[in-house]
Amino acid sequence: KKVIFSGIQPTGVITLGNYLGAIKNWTRLQDDYNCLFCVVDMHSITVRQDPALLRKRARDLLTIYIAAGLDPEKNIMYYQSHVSGHAELSWILSCFTYMGELNRMTQFKEKSAKHGNNINAGLFTYPVLMAADILLFQSDLVPVGHDQKQHLEITREIANRFNNIYGDVFTVPEPYIGKVGAKIMSLQEPTKKMSKSDENPNGYISLLDDLNVVKNKIKRAVTDSDREVTYSEDKPGVKNLIDIYSSITGNSIESCMNEFQGKGYGDLKRIVGEAVVEELRPIQERFKDLQKNKDYLDGIIKKNGETANYLATKTLRKVQKKVGFPVRI
Ligand code: ATP
Ligand code: MG
């Protein structure tokens, strides 16, 4: 079986964008691949976090993974910070990454514009840590949204560079981009991606939002002054709602457009709102049940962390030997 690696930062409660762009696609992969789904808490401290809140969000995120249908017996789901190999490999890889390459990363540009008072080195080397995450497990495929494509390209660069010097050490990963739902936009600024760290909560739907709040956020979503439901780049707000609907129902854009034929924005928002609410309802119910089961979750975290650590160490020892570090006896 091929290996798949993916992760989400516990920087907030995950959004409908993360769910449709990432987790929902992952649930379709778990039977056919060996999957690792990581809670990348080390990435999240590139932006200042409240420690108690970060810890809570990391646990909630792992719980959401399970609640959304990822099976902890089939997949390795763990905290990045519990596997020290991520940091160790990241250091080595940083010595095979050029400043110029990192300078071109759009996420760095966007995040440093947003967090101008804290443009730290970790924010700059974020893609190197991400490369380490992926290469540590010899991943074949990485399901990522469009926003992470550039980071995957640099991962491939680094892997190839390393392999050219030391022989075939790393599997060079391929992107795995789901057809629909690859990019869900903000409900308030539909030309920007929906993001869980947006300061305006009306821009995103959190997976744990009260279901009435969910409906209202969709009702208030920015569209335009027109009335006709059409699917085009000129109408990013309307297009986004249709994308969300298509992604949830699994129906093509064409078939969704047939459904909206002759309907106005009010109907569109009501129909999409209901679809989102029904998608989230069972996830929220399972989330609440899981939260009550502390021992079960603790067991999963421990067992999966150990498995990830075992696999990570295998690659790490190989890499350390290749670069010339003394072998441990
Ligand atoms: P942050 O604002 O803290 O960066 P984020 O919402 O961008 O949060 P990440 O943890 O950076 O979330 O990304 C987790 C996964 O979700 C990645 O695979 C990413 O491609 C995907 N993703 C993020 N935002 C969207 C979106 N708007 N639409 C679809 N997929 C998304
Ligand atoms: Mg992000």
> 118 with 232, same domain?
no
> 30 with 92, same domain?
yes
> 19 with 164, same domain?
yes
Q: What distance in angstroms lies between residue 142's CA and the mean position of ligand 2's atoms? A: 15
Q: What distance in angstroms lies between residue 69's CA and the mean position of ligand 2's atoms? A: 22
* Tokens encoding 255: 């078939």
Distance CA 70, CA 68 (A): 6
Look up the CATH number of the domain holding residue 23.
Answer: 3.40.50.620
* Tokens encoding 279: 């998608």
pLDDT of residue 179: 60
* Tokens encoding 18: 């993360």
Q: What distance in angstroms lies between residue 52's CA and the mean position of ligand 2's atoms? A: 21
Q: Do the domain assignments include residue 122?
A: yes
> 243 with 265, same domain?
yes
Q: How many structural domains is the chain composed of?
A: 2
Containing domain of residue 228, as a range?
201-289
Q: Among residues 243, 257, 106, which one has the least CA distance to residue 179?
A: 243
Ligand nearest to the CA of 150: 1
> 76 with 120, same domain?
yes
Q: Do the domain assignments include residue 328?
A: no
Distance CA 132, CA 300 (A): 23
> 143 with 274, same domain?
no
Which residues lie across from 5 on neighbouring strands?
A: 36
* Tokens encoding 206: 């959190």
Q: Among residues 222, 226, 219, 216, which one has the least CA distance to residue 194?
A: 222
Distance CA 190, CA 168 (A): 43
The HSE-up count of residue 287 (CA atoms within 13 Å, CB side) is 18
Q: Do the domain assignments include residue 226?
A: yes
Ligand nearest to the CA of 40: 1
Look up the CATH number of the domain holding residue 273.
Answer: 1.10.240.10
Q: What distance in angstroms lies between residue 18's CA and the mean position of ligand 1's atoms? A: 5
pLDDT of residue 32: 94
Pocket lining: 145 vs ligand 1, CB cutoff 6 Å: yes
| 177 and 146 Cβ atoms separated by less than 8 Å | yes
pLDDT of residue 171: 98
Q: Do the domain assignments include residue 195?
A: no
Q: Among residues 123, 129, 245, 126, which one has the least CA distance to residue 184?
A: 245
Nearest CA to ligand 1 atom 5: 195
* 111 is a catalytic site residue: yes
Task: Name the residue of 16, 54, 195 to mutate for ligand 1: max ligand atoms within 8 A of Cβ.
Answer: 195
Q: Do the domain assignments include residue 193?
A: no
* 2 is a catalytic site residue: no
| 92 and 52 Cβ atoms separated by less than 8 Å | no
pLDDT of residue 146: 82
Q: What distance in angstroms lies between residue 74's CA and the mean position of ligand 1's atoms? A: 24
pLDDT of residue 227: 86
> 96 with 242, same domain?
no
- Written as tens digits, the pLDDT of the chain (329 aa) is 999 999 999 999 899 999 998 899 899 999 999 999 999 999 999 999 999 999 999 999 999 999 999 999 999 999 999 999 999 999 999 999 999 999 999 999 999 998 899 999 999 999 999 999 999 999 999 998 788 999 999 999 999 999 999 999 999 999 987 665 568 999 999 999 999 888 899 999 999 999 999 999 999 999 988 888 999 999 999 999 999 999 999 999 999 999 999 999 999 999 999 999 999 999 999 999 999 999 999 999 999 999 999 999 999 999 999 999 999 88
Q: What are phi and psi of 146, to 5 degrees?
A: -55, -30
> 10 with 116, same domain?
yes
Pocket lining: 184 vs ligand 1, CB cutoff 6 Å: yes
> 120 with 162, same domain?
yes
Of the listed 2, 56, 74, 111, which one is catalytic? 111
Which atom of ligand 1 sits closest to the CA of residue 20?
A: 29
Which atom of ligand 1 sits closest to the CA of residue 40?
A: 10
Pocket lining: 125 vs ligand 1, CB cutoff 6 Å: no
> 11 with 64, same domain?
yes
* 314 is a catalytic site residue: no
> 311 with 211, same domain?
no
Pocket lining: 247 vs ligand 1, CB cutoff 6 Å: no
pLDDT of residue 21: 87
Ligand nearest to the CA of 191: 1
Query: Taking the model in full, what pTM does it have?
Result: 0.92
| 141 and 178 Cβ atoms separated by less than 8 Å | no
> 167 with 254, same domain?
no
